[in-house]
Amino acid sequence: MRILIVGTGYVGTTTGLVFCEMGHKVTGLDLDENKIKALQAGKLHFYEPGLEELLSKHVAAQHIEFTKKTKKAVKENDIIFICVGTPQGADGSADLTYVKNVAHSIGKYMNKYKIIITKSTVPVGTAELVTKWIKEGQEEQIPYDVVSNPEFLREGSALRDALNPDRIVIGSTSETARTIIREMYRDFHCPIVETNPNASEMIKYAANSFLAMKISFINELARLCDGLNININDVSKGIGLDTRIGPQFLRAGMGYGGSCFPKDVNALIQIAKENGQPLSILEHVVKVNEEQTVFFIEKIKQNLGDDLLNKKIAVLGLSFKANTDDTRESPTLNLINQLLAEQAQVMVHDPVVKIAGGPSLVQLQSVEETVVGADALVIGTDWDEYKNLDWVRIKQLMNQPNLFDGRNMLDKRKIENLGFYYSGIANH
Ligand code: UGA
């Protein structure tokens, strides 16, 4: 099949390449000239393990091409995925400006029957709006169907997730469109949930919100366990083995971040309010998440003292989680900002993210340089390479051997045996 992907960001590029792997011919359309040029040269404009290799392979084999030419791309492709961004508006709801512009262009340049599929996370009712916007753009009446087919991949494991989804959700009232989309996904071996577009859009928000809820649940419970001297990791394991609960997303830490959970939970809260049925449970999920870095900083202060003025704090990791260069809503950046507000001196390290420093914020190339003279070392992001550092050497380089593990990734006993003071999130 010939597939057009509009928006060559994270989801768009991964989706396009996965369809290439399934033997389809793909065109990626974007208005950003720099992105297009990079992609045409087989270069990714973001960090994602394994994706660049796949991109070079399919660019070289001409299975995928990238263009800025909307008219030609719309005319030549009958299956069009909308993968543009839906940023958070001022009131927490999703801003659909980019989706609307794309829908208008599709309407304008449509020459025969097309299926338009929303993959970006969009509010309930968007498929109906896209249908209307396409019609507004049309100069002559040509039939089309709009389908909701949300994406569930995670950054850092995008390729694995997109190639092996747990399920595929197809939201459409058109049997023609559903048949074609089922065929498009025929090589995927997972259940397919067929429903109407509104339910499909809700499934995506509900999935992200439920996972965020699991994280806030375990984080709030961790605060209680911290005081009770109970190891939260054991509790997560003990409840996660119950198949009704499941082991995933029960890792206590500094809270969830990224471009999806914070935005999507807020958007669902907004949808609920607008419909007079507030989801107060999610409001609390957000509150717990916001409090989690404050809780962690209090733990640091219990050891270093309330006054952080000129205390040297080394922070490892900047991205919102490991294996990504994405720092949007990163709990670690949030923590750093709070430390800077308390006038601490912060030295940071990240294997892939580069940030502009400031008078009190310095980024260093290696972990060893980062910890020199530090009064405390904070694990902010759970990059694998922070698991097995040369702790003996690190202790020698630090001013005081205080270690705060915001991701519970280290073995407390081992670290303490080396003479460190160790504090995690109820990692007893
Ligand atoms: C999330 C969802 O997991 C994907 O299914 C979805 O497709 C995506 O949003 C999206 O809507 O596009 P992602 O934001 O890439 O994916 O990252 P996750 O792996 O879900 O992690 C989100 C945050 O939760 C991170 O800050 C992570 O550190 C945190 N987390 C995760 C925990 O604190 N504890 C856990 O046990 C798991």
Please report how the helices 97-109 and 126-137 are oriented relative to each other, as an axis angle in degrees rounded to 10.
Answer: 40
Query: In this structure, what token pair is assigned to residue 412?
Result: 């407390």
Q: In this structure, how many other beta carbons lie within 10 angstroms of the beta carbon of residue 287?
A: 12
Query: Rounded distance, CA 237 to CA 356, Å?
Result: 39
Residue 56 and residue 42 in contact, taking contact as beta carbons nearer than 8 Å? yes
Query: Rounded distance, CA 269 to CA 272, Å?
Result: 5
Query: Rounded distance, CA 5 to CA 82, Å?
Result: 6
What pLDDT is recorded for position 89?
A: 86
Cβ–ligand 1 distance for 375 under 6 Å, the answer no
| Sign, Cα dihedral of 129, 135, 138, 143 | positive
Residue type at position 3: I
Residue ranges of the chain with per-residue pLDDT less than 50: none
Candidates 202, 211, 324, 427: which one to mutate for ligand 1, based on the most atoms within 8 Å of Cβ? 211
Atom of ligand 1 nearest to the CA of 254: 33
Q: What's the 256 CA to ligand 1 centre distance in angstroms?
A: 7
Calculated CA dihedral for residues 196, 198, 200, 201, nearest 10 degrees = 160
- The DSSP code sequence of 73-95 is HHHH-SEEEE-----B-TTSSBP
Cβ–ligand 1 distance for 257 under 6 Å, the answer yes
> Of residues 20, 83, 225, 260, which has the active-site annotation?
260
User: What's the Cα-to-Cα distance from 68 to each of 53, 103, 283, 304, rounded to whole Å?
Assistant: 23, 16, 41, 54
Q: What's the 384 CA to ligand 1 centre distance in angstroms?
A: 17
Cβ–ligand 1 distance for 151 under 6 Å, the answer yes
What is the tens place of the pLDDT at every residue in 92-143?
888 999 999 999 999 999 999 999 999 999 999 999 999 999 999 999 999 9
Atom of ligand 1 nearest to the CA of 407: 33
Atom of ligand 1 nearest to the CA of 152: 7
From first CA to last CA, the distance across the chain in angstroms is 54
What pLDDT is recorded for position 379?
A: 98
Residue 228 and residue 296 in contact, taking contact as beta carbons nearer than 8 Å? no
Residue in this structure with the two tokens 């389809």, named with its chain if needed: 24
What pLDDT is recorded for position 94?
A: 86
Cβ–ligand 1 distance for 75 under 6 Å, the answer no
Cβ–ligand 1 distance for 253 under 6 Å, the answer yes
Which uninterrupted H or E stretch holds 197? helix 197-228
What pLDDT is recorded for position 1?
A: 87
Query: Rounded distance, CA 286 to CA 215, Å?
Result: 10
What pLDDT is recorded for position 133?
A: 98
Q: What's the 191 CA to ligand 1 centre distance in angstroms?
A: 22
Cβ–ligand 1 distance for 153 under 6 Å, the answer yes
pTM for this entry:
0.96
Q: What's the 296 CA to ligand 1 centre distance in angstroms?
A: 20
Candidates 121, 164, 239, 249: which one to mutate for ligand 1, based on the most atoms within 8 Å of Cβ? 249
Task: Tell the burial category of 244 from Cβ atoms under 10 Å away from its Cβ (0-12, 13-18, 19+).
Answer: exposed
Coil, helix or strand at residue 331 = helix
Give the residue whose CA is nearest to atom 12 of ligand 1.
Answer: 260
Q: What's the 250 CA to ligand 1 centre distance in angstroms?
A: 11
Residue 205 and residue 268 in contact, taking contact as beta carbons nearer than 8 Å? yes
Cβ–ligand 1 distance for 155 under 6 Å, the answer yes
What is the tens place of the pLDDT at every residue in 389-427?
999 999 999 999 999 999 999 999 999 999 999 999 999
CB proximity list for 384: less than 8 A, separation 6 or greater? 322
Q: Which ranges of 66-185 would DSSP assign to H, the alpha helix?
A: 70-76, 97-109, 126-137, 158-163, 175-184
Cβ–ligand 1 distance for 208 under 6 Å, the answer yes
Query: In this structure, what token pair is assigned to residue 181?
Result: 């989309």
CB proximity list for 77: less than 8 A, separation 6 or greater? 2, 3, 4, 27, 114
Cβ–ligand 1 distance for 261 under 6 Å, the answer yes
Candidates 167, 260, 407: which one to mutate for ligand 1, based on the most atoms within 8 Å of Cβ? 260
Give the residue whose CA is nearest to atom 25 of ligand 1.
Answer: 256
Query: In this structure, what token pair is assigned to residue 300?
Result: 């640091």
Give the residue whose CA is nearest to atom 36 of ligand 1.
Answer: 249
Backbone angles phi, psi at 79, to 5 degrees: -120, 120
Query: Rounded distance, CA 428 to CA 413, Å?
Result: 9
Q: What's the 79 CA to ligand 1 centre distance in angstroms?
A: 29
Cβ–ligand 1 distance for 254 under 6 Å, the answer no
Atom of ligand 1 nearest to the CA of 10: 12
What pLDDT is recorded for position 331?
A: 98
| Bridge partners, 402 (sequence order) | 421
The full 3-state SS of 242-310, as one line of letters, equals CCCCCCCCCCCCCCCCCCCHHHHHHHHHHHHHHCCCCCHHHHHHHHHHHHHHHHHHHHHHHHHCCCCCC
225 is catalytic: no
